[in-house]
Structure 1
Amino acid sequence: MNSVQKIKKTFKWSLLSASIFLVFACDSQDAIEEALTTQDVVCDEDTTDVDFKQIAYWSENDDETLEDIDFSRLTHIIYDQISVASDGSLIISDDLDDELDDLIEAVTDANTGTLVMFSIGSASSLSAIANNDTALDNFNDEIQDLFDDYAIDGIDINWQFPDEDEEDDFEDLIESVEETVHDESKLLSFVVASGEDESITDSVSEDAIDYADFVNVLAVESANDDDLHYTLEEAEESIEYWTGERCVVKNKLVLAIPAQGTSSEDLTKSYADILDHNLSDACLDKTESRTYYYYDGIPTVTDKTEYAQSNAGGVVLMSLQNDTYDEDYVDEYSLLMTIDSQVTGTPNTICD
């Protein structure tokens, strides 16, 4: 073998050795990255005291009146919702102004200590506001005016939901609003997704969570084979995501409970309407006949509330106007009553 052949052979072995090294190096790096990304999150022990919250969203409709609501079963009621323009201006008509006043008057007359909050949306307007300093300043001025004009106890931000490109925008908006709200010694909450789609929940930063007094976890439905069903398991997975993966303390998490049914055809029906058709459906999670509606019946509402008592900071009924107020059976079949009965240690046994 001449010197040129030796050089070529040596060069070939060098290339082969380098290639093998690169393969193993890449595999090792991939393995390291995979190990890092799959490593379990370890949260600090949660020693925060839990002040269990019994909340409901409410909006006016023609079928029920404020006089029907038993405010003694609520720690908070949130008016859902006040619209906002992209320049930060709140849209409050004369009719809405009357509704807001009526709600505050009803709660005041009840003298139960129930706190009143106003929810503000929507996602497109809030996104635009977060990207405009002038609009954000205007938005905070409008919130300040709400505190000046109405005897309310806080603000709920209903941005459903910031996407993964809006994490900074959402945090900036919440940080700005937090200063306005907490300077007045008022409450701040916002809604978050269940955790099923982490591309959505990841857009809610740790700092944004820290700014809020509590967050309402909308674990209210999921799609499986074109069927919609509300389950205790999905509620548990949602809370476990926020406590176990995101390390949010229990007291800040409020578990949503729906007061309506949803069909696989995306039709909705209030819990009250479901009972009006067939009272026995109250003890099920799916209507027995006709178009199938999936919902939370009394046993599931009891189970979710019991779970939240140990693993979260409260429950929120979505929405109160969909509950039953029929005087013939409201005391036995109301979801609001069912939640309160579980919290006070006398669970609803109508379905036993």
Structure 2
Amino acid sequence: MELPSLDLNLVVVLHALLEERNVTRAGERVGLSQPGTSAALARLRRHFDDQLLERVGGAYQLTPLAQALRGQLGATLAQLQGVLAAQPRFDPAATDRRFVVACSDSVLAVLGPPLVAAVTREAPSASLDFRSLDARVTTDPLALLRDVDLLVVPRGLFALPDVPSVELYRDRWICATWRGNAAVGDRLSLEDVARARWVMPFQQLLMSSPADAALAALGVDRHCAVRVESFSVLDRLVVGTELLVLFHERLAGELTARDLRVVELPVQLPPITETAWSHPSRRLDPGHRWLVEVVTGVGAGLGQPTASASR
């Protein structure tokens, strides 16, 4: 296979031009003067036999070919950078690399402490950057994966069969309410689930969680009374109310100490399979492979959830 004879630096300039749609700003982005960027654009136009940028009024617009190229260049450059940055070996004891992990607060509460301990033990000069999830986890997970080393979310939120992933640990859903809530007994019917008012997390971000998908398959939609962008405080918000909550068993601890009781659901919800996902372009990165090995080992060491089932 032969590659077209185009300077790879021009590809970087092309990406900046298509993103900025402005010669001066594109040049500033890649460190070129305005004449240098104009010369690069002229070479690109000759190569593609297309204007790429066309002036319409006082601004530049992308040609159809440029629009198609813009949609591919971001991912292509990310993969190319991964290939060119590949190293034959990785020494965790000597690295000062920063690893970025995107996850929910529930995952951070469970996985964070042992992962921090493992990374600082094996790579004392490395750093961990834990980031909250954003809407891309459901709208464009591949774009999110390009910005982080690992994305830890449950299986079932999206379908990316060709994306590398590894299961870390499993959790279960617990339904609970305030101990003083006399509006429901110890077991709910489907009608009770539909009629109840719930404290729910990330309603706009994770609209098709596996738990709600399982209930929706039975024709039941939960009514959200309180929305909060957190998993770790869900149970505390039902105290003193008739509200119900579904939350992760690993976060439950001793329910009686928080004045809560478990309420049995009419159906068995699917388990929560927390999974680490990574962008395909990171396959050649030995540092990334090391991080995956560490986080997998940490997940395997968590064991089974052991929440109190006190009523």
Q: Under a length normalisation based on structure 1, what TM-score does the superposition of the two structures give? A: 0.25
More helix by share: 1
Q: Under a length normalisation based on structure 2, what TM-score does the superposition of the two structures give? A: 0.28
